[in-house]
Amino acid sequence: MRKANGLIGANWRSEMVSNCAGATLNRLLGNGNEPEKKGEPMSEKTAFSLPDALEARGVTRRSFLEFCGALAVAAGLSYSAAPRVANALEESVIGAKEGNLFPVLWIEGASCTGCTESFAQIETPDAGKVVLELISLNYSDVLSAGAGHSLELAKKQTIENGNYVVVYEGGITQGFESNTLRVAMETGENILVEAAEHAAAVIALGSCAVNGGWMAAYPNPANATGVSAILAKHGIATPVVNLPGCPANPEWLMSVMVQVLMLGGAEALVAGDVPAVVSTLGLDDQAKPKGIYGQTIHDNCERRPHFENGEFVYEFGSKEEELGYCLYPLGCKGPQTKANCGVTMWNNRRSWCIQAGSPCIGCCEANPNDPGDNWVEVNTPFYKRDRDLHIGSTFFRPTAVAAGITILAGAAILIHRFGMKKAGRMDGGADFELVREWDAKNPDRAIGQYEYSVLGDPVKMKAAQEEIAKQYEAAEETAEAAAEDEGR
Amino acid sequence: MPFVITHWINLAAMVVLIITGFLIHFPVPISMGIARGLHVFCGIVIFINCLVRCIMAFFVKSAPTGGTRETVKDYKTWLPQEDNRHQGPAWVKYYTFVKKDHPLGAKLGVPQKLSYLLIPILILLMFISGLCLWAPTASSGFCQWCLGLVGGAMSMRVIHYFGMYVFIIFMFIHVHLATAEGSEPVKLMFLHKEHGGLVYDPDKHVIVGEDKMEH
């Protein structure tokens, strides 16, 4: 918990939690100079100037700018945008040099807390912590030092005061009247609704929060879904930013926050101006930031040249794997998964799945409008090129079924061909029927005018054949005559 | 003659698409760049060819029936016509050997007509699903809408993949039936070599004679 405290100064009225380590730490960090607001619950902590904070933690200006550059890249900007990012962090509402910080509630839904874990492991020395301390994290199931009644009270007060951002992690389980998740006597669904209703925005962090994630995969007994579906269900218009991933890359969350700061998104959020929020964050029609989710893993993959050259790894432990060839035949979902993992990378930009030798398993696949389009449902088995399909609870491989049906069809056609031969139809087909079957049964509404038919009547047939031959002879003569005329 | 060309293009493009499609799905060394390039190229070619063929049906004349030297606008014999009425069950019975004699009808029988009408639709579906999977077009609004409709890129891929098997089955049936009753249809379609035969009158809906092609 000490580490968590260092990351996020849990924050609420100090007298309420005077025995709490977080409050002690806040005082140690110099956050004790909070303005006293008598009789009014306090929901924001205040900041000190950024350069001082950096210096106090031994962060050089250089490493801070490096961090800002990485954030800029994560946000889909060029590295040269680093000074702008640094400036935004220093000048912004969230990164206020002094004064109130933007309150954030980090709420766990049906989650494994993996996104929080990932976030807590962000390693960029101290700068990450500094940025975290630039928001006022008033509630976090996992990271807050406090617990129980006092923490719930901090959340309640933050909601009452308004103008906060909710980071929601995990799915929302609607099954069993939403009772599959209960926290502090309240269902997960109600907690989200209550927090989202008065929020400036909800950041749905991780694939579960976007559309239920793996919980929504077949058979989805808990009827899991994502934040935007729940908000729509309850008619809440609070803007949602979707950041899928399992877990979501912590720097993506950072970059969204920075984008809010850089381009005046905070004002738009506070004003409740949804179109402005969408344009500021560059969201696509699934409310995902285009800079992060605009291209596929494949588009920016470091092994892409091997793909184009047709150099593939066909099995783990092979020579090809040693050579770092493309993992496509091992079921890499990079070509259809949209995320900039290959650019942002993981663990302080050290490596990422594909560099580490694992095919992409498509954890960022999450359509907020369709819980069925979740990454586990559409991407399993992970090491096969295509998904399993199922009818009811019977699973099958697409290739096996399609190829099977095709082979059966081929065999049936072969048998049919023998049948055609046996029936003597191979030489010009069977003889024509004299009268259509339907016509024979319905003579008054017959299609064919059988009085003209020559079938089955050798005399009429011979006459018709001669007639046609004559017609053509005549036509030919006319044509020849015409040609001669022209020749003259 | 134009239809002979479009038929040749269809055949060539389909074969290349199937081979390269398999190479993309089951990659073998070296092939990928070539396979993808050819696949995209042939996909566009077959779609344009299909469009051209459909438009030409309204302008170019073809024989309304075997064994005649008359011609009519092609769409008349391509779309369902009077000749096909009530003949569906007869064709099914004929092909399942229940019925011994050949159903009367114009150039295209009922099952044939249905499959030829489905093929352009299938080509269109394959083209759209292909575009939804092709990086330069996949992020367009229309493709995104389609992807949302089917439940994501993986589902679209499976649909595209299954579509190919439908084409393969169609080709099996098509080749079988086009060659089963003699080689005339094949010579006509590939070499534009006409053949004689019984003359069917598309207005009177009966066979009115025979053209022995002796001239």
A221-252 confidence digits (pLDDT tens): 999 999 999 999 999 988 899 999 999 998 88
CB-CB under 8 Å, A336 with B154? yes
Give me chain A's average pLDDT, please.
80
Please state, in angstroms and as integers, the Cα–Cα distance from residue A294 to each residue in A124, A210, A377, following that order: 25, 16, 22
What does the angle CA A368 – CA B126 – CA B132 come to, to the nearest 5 degrees?
35
Q: Touching check for B149 and chain A: CB below 8 Å?
A: no
In the predicted model, is pLDDT for residue A43 greater than 70? no
CB-CB under 8 Å, A372 with B151? yes
Looking at beta carbons, which residues of chain B come within 8 Å of A372? 151
Choose the weakest-confidence range: A24-33, A477-486, B42-51, B181-190. A24-33
CB-CB under 8 Å, A310 with B29? yes
Nearest by CB to residue B158, choosing from A389, A403, A409, is A389
Residue of A nearest to B100 (CA): A430
In the predicted model, is pLDDT for residue A8 greater than 90? no
In the predicted model, is pLDDT for residue A28 greater than 50? no
Q: Touching check for B169 and chain A: CB below 8 Å?
A: yes
* Residue A366 phi, psi (nearest 5): -160, 110
**Hey, of A365, A369, A432, A451, which one would you mutate to test binding to chain B, going by the most B CBs within 10 A of its CB?**
A432
| pLDDT category of residue A265 using cuts at 50, 70 and 90 | low
In the predicted model, is pLDDT for residue A151 greater than 50? yes
Chains A, B: CB contacts within 8 A come to 190
Rounded to whole angstroms, how far apart are CA atoms A271 and A260?
Answer: 13
In the predicted model, is pLDDT for residue A20 greater than 50? no
Question: What percentage of chain A carries pLDDT values higher than 90?
Answer: 41
In the predicted model, is pLDDT for residue A24 greater than 80? no
Cα–chain center distance at A449: 64
Looking at the complex, report in whole angstroms how far the Cα of residue B37 sits from the nearest Cα belonging to chain A.
10
Rounded to whole angstroms, how far apart are CA atoms A90 and A359?
Answer: 39
Looking at the complex, report in whole angstroms how far the Cα of residue A321 sits from the nearest Cα belonging to chain B.
14
Nearest by CB to residue B181, choosing from A362, A425, A452, is A425
Residue of A nearest to B153 (CA): A336
CB-CB under 8 Å, B180 with A425? yes
CB-CB under 8 Å, A455 with B206? yes
pLDDT of residue A25: 35
Looking at the complex, report in whole angstroms how far the Cα of residue A13 sits from the nearest Cα belonging to chain B.
47
pLDDT of residue A411: 95
**Tell me, what DSSP letter sits at residue B104?**
P
pLDDT of residue A44: 63
Nearest by CB to residue A387, choosing from B104, B158, B212, is B158
Question: What's the mean pLDDT in A43-60?
Answer: 67
Looking at the complex, report in whole angstroms how far the Cα of residue A312 sits from the nearest Cα belonging to chain B.
7
| pLDDT category of residue A47 using cuts at 50, 70 and 90 | low
In the predicted model, is pLDDT for residue A144 greater than 90? no
Please, are residues A94 and A266 in contact by the beta-carbon 8 Å criterion? yes
Please state, in angstroms and as integers, the Cα–Cα distance from residue B81 to each residue in A14, B75, B118, B200, B205, following that order: 87, 10, 16, 14, 11
Looking at beta carbons, which residues of chain B come within 8 Å of A416? 95, 176
Choose the weakest-confidence range: A267-271, A315-319, A459-463, B2-6. A267-271
Choose the weakest-confidence range: A279-293, A401-415, A463-477. A463-477
Looking at the complex, report in whole angstroms how far the Cα of residue A85 sits from the nearest Cα belonging to chain B.
28
The token pair at A369 is 């409008």
Looking at the complex, report in whole angstroms how far the Cα of residue B84 sits from the nearest Cα belonging to chain A.
9
Question: What's the mean pLDDT in A14-29?
Answer: 35
Looking at the complex, report in whole angstroms how far the Cα of residue A410 sits from the nearest Cα belonging to chain B.
7
CB-CB under 8 Å, A405 with B165? yes
In the predicted model, is pLDDT for residue A361 greater than 60? yes
**Hey, of A319, A452, A459, which one would you mutate to test binding to chain B, going by the most B CBs within 10 A of its CB?**
A452
Question: What's the mean pLDDT in A462-485?
Answer: 78
Question: What's the mean pLDDT in A381-403?
Answer: 91
CB-CB under 8 Å, A423 with B209? no
Looking at beta carbons, which residues of chain B come within 8 Å of A450? 206
Residue of A nearest to B169 (CA): A406
CB-CB under 8 Å, A413 with B172? yes
In the predicted model, is pLDDT for residue A206 greater than 70? yes
pLDDT of residue A369: 92
Give the 3-state secondary structure of residue A417: helix
pLDDT of residue A32: 37
Looking at the complex, report in whole angstroms how far the Cα of residue B198 sits from the nearest Cα belonging to chain A.
9
Residue type at A106 in one-letter notation: W
Looking at the complex, report in whole angstroms how far the Cα of residue B203 sits from the nearest Cα belonging to chain A.
9
Please, are residues A323 and A317 in contact by the beta-carbon 8 Å criterion? no
pLDDT of residue A455: 72
CB-CB under 8 Å, A438 with B87? yes
Rounded to whole angstroms, how far apart are CA atoms B132 and A227?
Answer: 27
Rounded to whole angstroms, how far apart are CA atoms B77 and B65?
Answer: 8
- B82 contact partners, CB below 8 Å, separation of at least 6: A447, B205
CB-CB under 8 Å, A299 with B135? yes
CB-CB under 8 Å, A372 with B30? no
The model carries a pTM of 0.80
Looking at beta carbons, which residues of chain B come within 8 Å of A312? 27, 29, 32
Which H/E stretch holds residue A107? strand A102-108
Looking at beta carbons, which residues of chain B come within 8 Å of A405? 165, 169
In the predicted model, is pLDDT for residue A290 greater than 80? yes
CB-CB under 8 Å, B207 with A432? yes
Question: What's the mean pLDDT in A288-314?
Answer: 94
Chain A contacts in chain B segment 71-110 (CB below 8 A): 82-83, 85-87, 89-90, 94-95, 97, 99-104
CB-CB under 8 Å, B30 with A464? no
Cα–chain center distance at B184: 18
CB-CB under 8 Å, B176 with A413? yes
Looking at beta carbons, which residues of chain A come within 8 Å of B32? 307-310, 312
| pLDDT category of residue A21 using cuts at 50, 70 and 90 | very low
The residues with which B62 forms a beta bridge, in sequence order, are B72
Low-confidence ranges of chain B (pLDDT < 70): 65-69, 106, 195-196, 209, 211-215
Positive or negative, the Cα torsion across B111, B113, B114, B118?
Answer: positive
Please, are residues A189 and A174 in contact by the beta-carbon 8 Å criterion? yes
Q: How many CA atoms lie within 13 A of B172 on its CB side?
A: 19
CB-CB under 8 Å, A420 with B214? no
Higher-confidence position of A224 and A64: A224
Please, are residues A384 and A223 in contact by the beta-carbon 8 Å criterion? no
Residue of A nearest to B84 (CA): A447
**Tell me, what DSSP letter sits at residue A39?**
T
The token pair at B141 is 């609004």
Rounded to whole angstroms, how far apart are CA atoms A360 and A383?
Answer: 9
Burial class of residue A10, CB neighbours in 10 A (0-12, 13-18, 19+): buried
**Hey, of B93, B142, B154, B174, which one would you mutate to test binding to chain A, going by the most A CBs within 10 A of its CB?**
B154
Per-residue pLDDT tens for A73-85?
766 677 777 777 7
Residue of A nearest to B133 (CA): A336
Neighbours of A430 (CB within 10 A): 17
Per-residue pLDDT tens for A89-142?
666 544 444 456 678 899 999 999 999 888 877 665 344 554 556 677 788 888
Rounded to whole angstroms, how far apart are CA atoms B206 and A115?
Answer: 76
Residue of A nearest to B184 (CA): A428
Question: What's the mean pLDDT in A147-166?
Answer: 88
**Tell me, what DSSP letter sits at residue A342?**
H
